[in-house]
Structure 1
Amino acid sequence: MMLVTALMAVTFIGCSSDDPKQTPAPPTPPPTPEEPVTPPAPTADSYNELYRPQIHFTPARNWMNDPNGMVYADGVYHLFYQYNPQGNSWGNMSWGHATSTDMIHWTEQAVALTRDALGDIFSGSAVIDHDNTAGFGADAMVAFYTSASEAGQQQSMAYSTDGGKNFTRYTANPIIKNNDDRQRDPKVFWHADSKQWIMSLAKGWSKGIEFFGSTDMKTWNKLSTFVVELPGRPEIQWECPDLIQFGNKWVLIVSVNPGGPILGSGTMYFVGQFDGKEFKADALDYPLWLDYGMDNYAGVTWSNTGNRKLLIGWMNNWSYAGDVPCSPWRSAMTLPRELKLTEFAGKPLLCCPVVSEIDKIASQWQEVSTEALPLDTQKSAYQLRLTVNTDKNTTITLSNSSEEKFVIDIYAATRTLAAKRSGATGKTFGTFSIPSMQAPLNVEGKDVIIDLFVDQSSIEILTKDGAMSMTNLVFPKSIYDHLFINGNASAQLRNLTRIW
Structure 2
Amino acid sequence: MTVNWAGVPEVWRGRFLAALAFAFAICGSSAAAENGLPKSMRESGTPQWRSLLHYTPQRNWMNDLNGLVYYRGIYHLFYQYNPEGNVWGNMSWGHATSRNLIDWTEQPVALAANRSEEVFSGSVVVDSHNTSGLGTAAVPPLVALYTSVYKTGSGHEPGGQAQSLAYSTDEDKTWRRYAHNPVLTLNPESSHFRDPKVSWYARGGYWLMCAVVADVHVVKLYRSSNLIDWTFLSDFTLPDIPHHGALWEIPDLVSLPLDGNPAKEKWVMIVNVNPWSIAGGSGAMYFVGRFDGTRFVPDEVAPAGSDASRWQWLDHGADYYAAGTFSNVPDRKTVAIGWMGNWDYANDVPTSPWRGAMALPRELALETVAGRPQLVFVPTESYASLVGRSPTTRIAQVGLESSTQALPAVTRGVVQNIELTIEPGGAHRAGLVVRGSADGTTGTRIFYDSEAQTLTIDRSHAGETSFSPAYSPQHIVNLPLHDGRLHLRVVVDRASVEVFAEHGQAVITDLILPALEDDRISLFAESGGATFRDIAVSDLSLAH
TM range (shorter): 0.7 to 0.9
The number of residues matched between the two structures is 459
2:106 aligned with 1:68, yes or no? no
Q: Secondary structure at the match of 2:514?
A: coil
Contact map agreement 2:498 2:510 (CA 8 A) in 1: yes
Aligned with 2:392 (options 365, 375, 379): 365
Unaligned runs of 5+ in 2: 1-32, 42-46, 151-157, 258-264, 303-309, 399-404
2:257 aligned with 1:214, yes or no? no
1:171 corresponds to: 179
Report Cα offsets for 1:222-280 as digits up to 9, x if no partner: 11000124664121100000100013100000100001002100100000011111100
CA–CA separation in structure 2 for the residues paired with 1:476 and 1:114: 35
Q: Secondary structure at the match of 1:483?
A: strand
Structure 1 residue 72 displacement after superposition: 0.3
Structure 1 residue 375 displacement after superposition: 5.7
Structure 1 residue 360 displacement after superposition: 3.6
Structure 1 residue 200 displacement after superposition: 0.4
1:421 corresponds to: 459
1:14 corresponds to: none
2:437 aligned with 1:400, yes or no? yes
Contact map agreement 1:406 1:424 (CA 8 A) in 2: yes
Q: Secondary structure at the match of 1:50?
A: helix
1:383 corresponds to: 417
Structure 1 residue 431 displacement after superposition: 3.1
Report Cα offsets for 1:416-455 as digits up to 9, x if no partner: 2012122454333223442431112366332221011011
CA–CA separation in structure 1 for the residues paired with 2:368 and 2:100: 29
CA–CA separation in structure 2 for the residues paired with 1:238 and 1:499: 40
Q: Secondary structure at the match of 2:110?
A: coil
Change (3 A) 1:121 1:375: farther
Change (3 A) 1:443 1:309: farther
CA–CA separation in structure 2 for the residues paired with 1:263 and 1:301: 23
Contact map agreement 2:75 2:99 (CA 8 A) in 1: yes
2:541 corresponds to: 497
Opposite residue 328 of structure 2, the aligned amino acid is: N
Report Cα offsets for 1:444-499 as digits up to 9, x if no partner: 33222101101111000112521110000011112432323223223220111379
Unaligned runs of 5+ in 1: 1-39
Query: Over aligned residue pairs, what C-alpha RMSD do you find?
Result: 2.2
Change (3 A) 1:180 1:324: same
Q: Secondary structure at the match of 1:434?
A: coil
Contact map agreement 1:422 1:428 (CA 8 A) in 2: no
Structure 1 residue 372 displacement after superposition: 4.3
Change (3 A) 1:60 1:499: farther
2:317 corresponds to: 293
CA–CA separation in structure 2 for the residues paired with 1:389 and 1:357: 29
Opposite residue 382 of structure 1, the aligned amino acid is: Q
2:358 corresponds to: 333
Q: Secondary structure at the match of 2:215?
A: coil
2:268 corresponds to: 251
Change (3 A) 1:229 1:475: farther
Q: When the two structures are superposed, what TM-score results if normalisation uses the length of structure 2?
A: 0.80
Larger Rg: 2
1:35 corresponds to: none
Contact map agreement 2:432 2:521 (CA 8 A) in 1: no
CA–CA separation in structure 2 for the residues paired with 1:97 and 1:72: 13
1:10 corresponds to: none
CA–CA separation in structure 1 for the residues paired with 2:218 and 2:480: 28
Structure 1 residue 307 displacement after superposition: 1.4
Opposite residue 467 of structure 1, the aligned amino acid is: Q
Question: Identity of aligned pairs, percent?
Answer: 38
Q: Secondary structure at the match of 1:293?
A: coil
CA–CA separation in structure 2 for the residues paired with 1:373 and 1:57: 30
Q: Secondary structure at the match of 1:130?
A: coil
Contact map agreement 2:418 2:537 (CA 8 A) in 1: yes
2:337 aligned with 1:312, yes or no? yes
Higher mean displacement: 298-307 or 322-331? 298-307
Contact map agreement 1:381 1:498 (CA 8 A) in 2: no
Higher mean displacement: 138-147 or 269-278? 138-147
2:237 aligned with 1:227, yes or no? yes
Structure 1 residue 334 displacement after superposition: 0.3
Higher mean displacement: 133-142 or 392-401? 392-401
2:31 aligned with 1:44, yes or no? no
CA–CA separation in structure 2 for the residues paired with 1:412 and 1:184: 43
Change (3 A) 1:209 1:86: same
2:125 corresponds to: 127
Contact map agreement 2:233 2:294 (CA 8 A) in 1: yes
